[in-house]
Copies of this chain bind each other. A is one copy, B any other.
Amino acid sequence: MVKTEEKTLESELIYDGKILKLFRDTAELPDGRSAIREVVRKADGVCIAAVDAEGRIAFVSQFRYPYGEDVLELPAGKIDGDEDPDHAALRELKEETGVECGKLISLGCGMSSPGFCDESLWLYIAADLRKGEAVPDEGEFLNLSWISLEKAEEMALTGEIKDLKSRMLILAAAAYLRKEAEQ
């Protein structure tokens, strides 16, 4: 086994912003040399596959500024401070889609960009849905749509859905629900 651990020698805060902090660290590599590590530190997030009684998944489409285009995604958002991830999932789902759910199934936690960012994303299936009115955050402009699980799975596989967390969660949710139906 190759030794891999890196040790922080210095850490410089470059930018302390609204949604992220940027650090420029110097790290000692396993061979004793040093290297620059640029790290974005930000709040963790949640992403939810909400499946209704007709087997359709809730999607939100919103303008994603870094790409300059509308992106079709599963409902997702940031965890507030020391908020419990389950609570954040219920809150974000309600805010973005108006949906409340009777059943929240955790599919664990994932890393979105481990090369440069410390964000962890908590993944959920929401079922037993009650639909209501969306209450988006100020400055948040979303369009809601419902797509059958079968079609969504196809779109995740072909890449018609581009957002990787959504693609991942759709495939995992479909596998989970298939397994559950077989039991």
Interface positions of A (Cβ within 8 A of B): 1-6, 14-15, 17-20, 22, 24-25, 27, 29-31, 33, 35-42, 61-67, 70-71, 73, 107-119, 121, 123, 139, 141-143, 156-159, 162-165, 167-168, 171-172, 175-176
A17/B38 in contact, CB under 8 A? yes
Nearest chain B CB to A167 CB, angstrom units = 5
A115/B171 in contact, CB under 8 A? no
Q: Chain B contacts of A29 at CB under 8 A?
A: 139, 141
Q: Is the interface of A mostly helix, strand, loop or mixed?
A: mixed
A110/B1 in contact, CB under 8 A? no
Kindly list the 9 A-B residue pairs having the minimum CB-CB distance in the complex, ordered from nearest: A108-B159, A168-B168, A66-B118, A4-B63, A171-B171, A110-B164, A64-B114, A37-B65, A4-B141
B65/A25 in contact, CB under 8 A? yes
Bound-complex Cα distance A122 to B27 (A): 29
Bound-complex Cα distance A182 to B122 (A): 34
A139/B61 in contact, CB under 8 A? no
Q: Among the listed B14, B30, B162, B168, which residue makes an inter-chain contact with A167, where contact means beta carbons less than 8 Å apart?
A: B168
Q: Chain B contacts of A5 at CB under 8 A?
A: 63
Nearest chain B CB to A181 CB, angstrom units = 15
Q: A167-B172, A175-B171 are in contact. Are A65 and B27 (CB under 8 A)?
A: yes
Nearest chain B CB to A22 CB, angstrom units = 5
Nearest chain B CB to A160 CB, angstrom units = 8
